[in-house]
Structure 1
Amino acid sequence: MLTIKEIAERANVSRTTVSRVLNNSGYVSEEAKKRVLKVIEDTGYVPSENAKSLRTKKTKVIGVILPKISTETSSRFVNGIDEVLAKEGYQILLTNTNLKPEKEIEFLRLLKSRHVDGIIQSATNINQPLVDEIFRLKIPFVMVGQCISGLSNVVFDDLQAIKDMVNLLIKKGHQHIAFIGVDEKDRAVGYLRKAGYIEAMKESNLDVEKSWIQKGIFDMKSGYDCMKMILDSSQNKPTAVVAVTDRLAIGAMQYIKEIGLSIPEDIAVAGMGASELSKVISPSLTTIDFSIEEAGREAASLLLEKINGQNNREIDRIIKYRLLERDSI
């Protein structure tokens, strides 16, 4: 492999000049720059990333920790991150916890050992061991979707978003509204969205039957099972149901159709997440668009500010959402 010294000799310049051309830094005359670039072009020279990272103390790699890599949400999120980072010459190293909390700490340590320049994490379960590990990293870090005091966070207004959805259903004349959620250890999707549902119902002086609240996991079968439990165990049947994800809502729709009920004539259905499937299912699903790509772009921009020393404060950025009213209500 050609060395910087050999390039300098062939171009009849100093090694410092070659280094300045390669790193696009410092003054180099146009004539000298042309000679260096011609040698590079003629020889097909590619700078060693290891050597470059030793000089700059940067690997130009960002670690991203995802809860489930196979979801549409994760894909949109990573696209937003890459849109910003690629322009600055950064690569992404993806890790997938598959919703296993113990994997989060494992991957934090792995990414630190790979000397990434920073980490973006989308977590579902915030616990003290995880928080302690993040603070031990001592490298630029941004949390997405959850909020940890003392860190920079990119978050959604989960509580207000579901309140807006419930209030829309109430405005449509619904007083018996069921809820399909997830484990409350997931503070954003599990705890805050349930709290928003209960707040909206109470603020309108509407009763909430315990059997109307069911907890599932992040898939359509779980939504199907939860809807079955709601309708089988309730003496007073709800006229509407709101689910904390589109997948849960679509599963609920499947069960409602299966037992011969109509949507929205018998039961209105609403979800959250604005998935592609929400647009094509029949009837089309009313949902919340959380601007997932924008969250990825914001997280990447915030991390770059920290890496480049432009912003050393820990701040929260709240992503705006849109309520998409469709045929399911």
Structure 2
Amino acid sequence: MAMKKNIDDIAALAGVAKSTVSRYLNGGYVSDATKRKIKKVIEETNYEPNAFAQSLKAKRTNFIGVIAPRLDSYATSKTLIGIDEELKRQHCNLFIAHTGRHVEREWEYLYSFARQKVGGIILLATEMTTRHKEIINEIGLPVLIVGQQWEGLHCLVHDDDQAGWMMGKHVVGKGHRRIAYLGVTEKDIAVGVKRRDGFRRAVRQGNPSEVRYYETSFAMEEAMEETKRIMDEYRPTVIVCATDNIAFGAMKAILREGLSIPADVSVTGFGGYDISGVVHPSLTTVRFEYKEVGKKAAASVIRMMNEEEIPLLQVSPFQLIEGESVRTWT
């Protein structure tokens, strides 16, 4: 039995963008020549349009829906500022949905924004699932994933693997051979897997005597608790933290133990938050350009709405910022 065709198949066979097929099905403007191509493929394949997509026949608006996992983080707020600034520049409006890091709410908001006739969606994803891809294909809207990579979808990511590698190379180059890495859940592929694996690759190349890997949440309080456990059982010379926020928790826990940073223990982070250069000692970290990523995300989704081609994968650059929180061991 032949596999049932979906909108991606129709677009590929007709040689047009998926959004063009979606617009054709929803009664939007498509040139006569393109209409004939799409109609011919549909007839030849016996394609049956998705019922949900067919219910969305009203004209799309210039609103962009943004789905955010949390609103109280530096990374999210800076990214949203960048998105808002670029959308205003291009005379588009912004809807924001907050999920509280619940993946099921991301699914719900994808449907909800589609029903509200938004022109496109930016998903600031914490983790990706096959259900995400199913819904994105079903609603037939331009959707850009920010922060996570998923094959076949348009994604804009930070270079987490290379950032982790550079941080690993940095601490090994400073002579550290007793290292703790304080990461997060592997459900977050970007931060929990790629950032850690890049670091692991670098320290293996540097041949340190011992590296131990630990896991915490993104919350500073839990990072403090895990750091105390690390110090009680291991006493590393450096703790490499998966985010600046985790690093702040680690620093507080270390100072509460009556120890000095970096004389007794060094600490590093990832993020490059504004406060990272203000705390004492200033934090050695990797700076990601969150605001610029937001601007690029907004510009990209508008280009998708206008049926302009953009790469499936876009990668944002980073910079290692050397603060005062890492000592050199000789």
- TM-score with structure 1 setting the length: 0.79
RMSD, aligned CA: 1.5
Report the secondary structure of 1:287's partner residue. strand
Q: Give the counterpart of 1:321 among 318, 324, 327.
A: 318
The alpha carbon displacement at 1:230 in A equals 1.0
Report the secondary structure of 1:70's partner residue. coil
The alpha carbon displacement at 1:207 in A equals 4.2
Q: Matches of 2:83 and 2:117 in 1, distance apart? A: 19
Q: Matches of 1:78 and 1:248 in 2, distance apart? A: 22
Identity of aligned residues (%): 35
The alpha carbon displacement at 1:224 in A equals 0.7
Give the corresponding residue for 1:233.
Answer: 233
The alpha carbon displacement at 1:131 in A equals 2.0
Q: Count how many residue pairs are aligned between Structure 1 and Structure 2.
A: 270
Give the corresponding residue for 1:290.
Answer: 288
Q: Confirm whether residue 272 of structure 1 aligns to residue 273 of structure 2.
A: no
Q: Matches of 2:171 and 2:284 in 1, distance apart? A: 10
The alpha carbon displacement at 1:208 in A equals 3.9
Q: Give the counterpart of 2:258 among 233, 257, 260.
A: 260
CA contact under 8 A between 2:67 and 2:122: conserved in structure 1?
yes
Residues 169-318 of structure 1 aligned to structure 2 (within 5 Å)? 169-209=171-211, 212-234=212-234, 237-311=235-309, 314-318=311-315
Moved over 4 A (4+): none
Q: Matches of 2:147 and 2:289 in 1, distance apart? A: 12
Report the secondary structure of 2:94's partner residue. strand
CA deviations over 1:14-65 (Å, ceiling 9, x no partner): xxxxxxxxxxxxxxxxxxxxxxxxxxxxxxxxxxxxxxxx99x331100000
CA deviations over 1:64-98 (Å, ceiling 9, x no partner): 00111121211110111112111121111001111
Structure 2 gaps, min length 5:
1-56
Question: Given residue 258 of structure 1, which amino acid in structure 2 is its aligned partner?
Answer: R
Question: Given residue 233 of structure 1, which amino acid in structure 2 is its aligned partner?
Answer: E
The alpha carbon displacement at 1:304 in A equals 1.0
- TM-score with structure 2 setting the length: 0.79
Report the secondary structure of 2:88's partner residue. helix
The alpha carbon displacement at 1:184 in A equals 0.4
Q: Matches of 2:167 and 2:160 in 1, distance apart? A: 11
Instruction: Specify the structure having the higher radius of gyration (Cα).
Output: 1
The alpha carbon displacement at 1:279 in A equals 1.8
Structure 1 gaps, min length 5:
1-53
Give the corresponding residue for 2:94.
Answer: 92
The alpha carbon displacement at 1:297 in A equals 1.1
Question: Given residue 251 of structure 2, which amino acid in structure 1 is its aligned partner?
Answer: M
Q: Matches of 1:163 and 1:222 in 2, distance apart? A: 25
The alpha carbon displacement at 1:314 in A equals 4.9
Question: Given residue 273 of structure 2, which amino acid in structure 1 is its aligned partner?
Answer: S
Question: Given residue 274 of structure 2, which amino acid in structure 1 is its aligned partner?
Answer: E
The alpha carbon displacement at 1:226 in A equals 1.6
